[in-house]
Amino acid sequence: MIDRLELTAARHAELEALTADPALARDQNRYRETMRELSRLAPVVEGYREYRKVLSELGEAREIARAEADPELRELAGVEAAGLEERKAALEAKLEELLVPRDPLDDKNTIMEIRAGTGGDEAALFAADLYRMYARYADGRGWKLEVLDAAETGLGGYREIVFSVSGQSVYESLRWESGVHRVQRVPATEAQGRIHTSAVTVAVLPEMEETEVDLKNEDLRIDVMRAGGPGGQSVNTTDSAVRITHIPTGLVVHCQDEKSQIKNKAKAMRILRARLFEHEDQKRQAERAAERKSQVGSGDRSERIRTYNFPQNRVTDHRVDLTLYKLDLVMQGDVGELVEALRAHAREAALRADRA
């Protein structure tokens, strides 16, 4: 572990020196990646500095306890050494966890897709509720949210809504939201007060840069058409909607949220890159099957991951057996406890895998 900590400290020093180079500021992509890596390494380096300080103090306390002639001072040194031993063990555990290799996707921005499943209008209404929940959570974290495409219903729900979330460690925080979210409540459309069960599907995709996904022009069929559905001027009057088909895979992306055809095409390409990466990643899942089983579910959108029970004000995440009786707050964006429980579970699984 010490060797790895020394290498990390050396890399941190190298990156700090690099930030003084004026050429770095001229390359925004390189500058952004450098600052992200510095941010990731900083807690490890700080922990290592504290660890070395504790080791030094522990050595001094042990020496006093061994060589001091005064029995009272020896006893005090012994007590201090015992406390430092506990601190040393805690730091070692913390550093071991920090040294677990991070998934390179964790620092990516995300594209989230929420789709109404079983339950008709009620599922569409809950899709809108989930979107607002994530929007409020993102706002509280200082993240930026941008709607890329949406298909609204007449009752204010969404058959589908696609949006991006950008900020620090977004994908690391939200990646475990992929799956089926089940809701149990009395729908607004229910006249007799009966509780219905509906489902909404959430997909969380890492947003990929243009250079990270190879999209060839000859593999794309791009169609333009008039936007449909509710909206203001330009809806149903101009050919602003864009549909892009990736011919080799059959993946289709439709985007009509903007009045500009160029902007819709740009958004559709962002969504397509993320979906194509996910498509290719699913091919590699078989190779990582054992690893994925040890983590928090598979992230598969067909897996039921969470139940929102409104009559009992209860939300249950089935992967980590966590139940909270504050659904009203969760729907207002207070999902931090759920997110952190899933992240902690994933870190523990990664730590076990690293030790194996």
pLDDT in tens, 226-235: 776 554 444 4
- Please give the pLDDT value at position 238: 62
Domain match, 110 and 196 both: yes
Q: Enumerate the H helices of 151-287 as residue ranges.
A: 170-174, 261-284
Rounded Cα–Cα distance for residues 347 and 97 (Å): 8
Confidence of residue 298 (pLDDT cuts 50, 70, 90): very low
Domain match, 184 and 323 both: yes
Among 98, 113, 128, residue at a domain's last position: 98
Domain match, 69 and 8 both: yes
Domain match, 54 and 184 both: no
Neighbours of 275 (CB within 10 A): 22
- Please give the pLDDT value at position 137: 96
Neighbours of 70 (CB within 10 A): 10
pLDDT in tens, 31-72: 888 888 888 889 899 999 999 999 999 999 998 888 888 888
Domain match, 346 and 198 both: yes
Neighbours of 116 (CB within 10 A): 26
CATH code of the domain in which 187 resides: 3.30.70.1660
pLDDT in tens, 101-150: 777 788 889 999 999 998 888 999 999 999 999 999 999 999 999 999 89
pLDDT in tens, 67-79: 888 888 888 988 9
Domain match, 32 and 181 both: no
Among 38, 71, 98, residue at a domain's last position: 98
- Please give the pLDDT value at position 292: 41
- Please give the pLDDT value at position 338: 96
Both tokens of residue 244? 């892009």
Domain match, 263 and 292 both: no
- Contact between 202 and 181 under an 8 Å Cβ cutoff? The reply is yes
Q: Where are the beta strands (DSSP E) in the chain?
A: 110-116, 144-152, 158-166, 179-185, 196-206, 220-225, 241-246, 251-255, 304-309, 314-317, 322-324
Domain match, 332 and 259 both: no
Domain match, 275 and 294 both: no
pLDDT in tens, 306-315: 999 999 999 9
CATH code of the domain in which 226 resides: 3.30.160.20
pLDDT in tens, 192-208: 778 889 999 999 999 88
> The domain containing residue 242 runs over which residues?
213-284
Domain match, 195 and 335 both: yes
Rounded Cα–Cα distance for residues 263 and 253 (Å): 14
Question: The tokens 């009203």 sit on which residue?
Answer: 328
Alpha-carbon separation of residue 79 from 82, 104, 171, 202 (angstroms)? 5, 43, 45, 54
Domain match, 185 and 50 both: no
Domain match, 92 and 193 both: no
Neighbours of 313 (CB within 10 A): 15
DSSP string, 274-291: HHHHHHHHHHHGGGGHHH
- Please give the pLDDT value at position 290: 47
Among 82, 98, 114, residue at a domain's last position: 98
- Please give the pLDDT value at position 215: 83
N-to-C CA span, the chain: 15
- Please give the pLDDT value at position 228: 65
Number of domains forming the structure of the chain: 3
